[in-house]
Amino acid sequence: MQQITILGATGSIGVSTLDVLARHPDRYSVYALSAHSRVDELAAQCAQFRPARAVVGDAASAQKLTALLRAQGLNTEVEYGEAALCAIASAPEVDAVMAAIVGAAGLAPSLAAARAGKKILLANKEALVMSGQLFIDAVQENGATLLPIDSEHNAIFQCLPHAYARAPGASGVAKILLTASGGPFLTRDVDTLDAVTPEQACKHPNWSMGRKISVDSATMMNKGLEVIEAHWLFGAPAEQIEVVIHPQSVIHSMVSYVDGSVLAQLGNPDMRTPIANALAYPERIDSGVAQLDLTAIATLQFTRPDYARFPCLALAFAALKTGGTAPALLNAANEVAVQAFLERRIGFRDIDRVIAHVMDAVPHYAADSIAVVMAQDALARASATSYLNGMMR
- Going from N- to C-terminal start, the domains of the chain cover 2-148, 150-318, 323-393
Tens of pLDDT, residues 76-95: 999 999 999 999 999 999 99
209 pLDDT above the threshold of 70? no
C-alpha span between 222 and 315 (Å, rounded):
12
75 pLDDT above the threshold of 90? yes
Tens of pLDDT, residues 102-154: 877 888 999 999 999 999 999 988 889 998 999 999 999 999 999 999 999 99
The percent of residues in the chain predicted with pLDDT above 90, rounded, is: 82
208 pLDDT above the threshold of 70? no
Mean pLDDT rounded to a whole number for the chain: 93
The CATH fold assigned to 2-148 is Rossmann fold (3.40.50)
Beta strands in the chain (DSSP E): 2-7, 28-34, 53-56, 77-80, 96-99, 119-122, 145-148, 173-180, 241-245, 251-257, 262-266
Q: Give yes or no for a contact between 278 and 252, defined as CB atoms under 8 angstroms apart.
A: no
C-alpha span between 45 and 389 (Å, rounded):
39
- Furthest C-alpha separation in the chain: 63
The architecture CATH gives domain 323-393: Orthogonal Bundle (1.10)
The H or E element spanning position 37 is none
In which band, very low, low, confident or very high, does the pLDDT at 206 lie, cut at 50, 70 and 90?
low
pLDDT of residue 207: 61
232 pLDDT above the threshold of 90? yes
pLDDT of residue 393: 64
pLDDT of residue 202: 87
Q: Which residues lie across from 4 on neighbouring strands?
A: 30, 96
pTM over 0.85? The answer is yes
What's the alpha-carbon Rg for the chain, to the nearest Å? 20
Q: Which of 337, 333, 313, 341 is nearest to 197 (CA)?
A: 341
Bond from prior residue into 184 cis (ω within 30 degrees of 0): no
pLDDT of residue 6: 98
Lowest-pLDDT range, 123-132, 153-162, 282-291, 354-363?
123-132
C-alpha span between 162 and 10 (Å, rounded):
32
346 pLDDT above the threshold of 70? yes
pLDDT of residue 320: 96
pLDDT of residue 105: 84
C-alpha span between 341 and 162 (Å, rounded):
42
pLDDT of residue 299: 87
Quote the Cα angle for 330-127-168, to 5°: 90
In which band, very low, low, confident or very high, does the pLDDT at 213 lie, cut at 50, 70 and 90?
confident
285 pLDDT above the threshold of 90? yes
Quote the Cα angle for 11-154-251, to 5°: 100
Q: What is the DSSP letter of 288?
A: S
C-alpha span between 7 and 100 (Å, rounded):
5
pLDDT of residue 103: 76
CA distances from 344 to 37, 189, 331, 338 (A): 22, 21, 20, 10
Tens of pLDDT, residues 367-381: 989 899 999 999 999
Tens of pLDDT, residues 311-342: 999 999 999 999 999 999 999 999 999 999 99
pLDDT of residue 297: 85
Higher-confidence residue: 63 or 393? 63
In which band, very low, low, confident or very high, does the pLDDT at 165 lie, cut at 50, 70 and 90?
confident
Q: Give yes or no for a contact between 128 and 153, defined as CB atoms under 8 angstroms apart.
A: no
Q: Which residues, other chains included, contact 32 with Cβ-Cβ below 8 Å and sequence gap of 6+?
A: 5, 6, 51, 52, 53, 54, 55, 88, 91, 94
181 pLDDT above the threshold of 80? yes
pLDDT of residue 360: 96
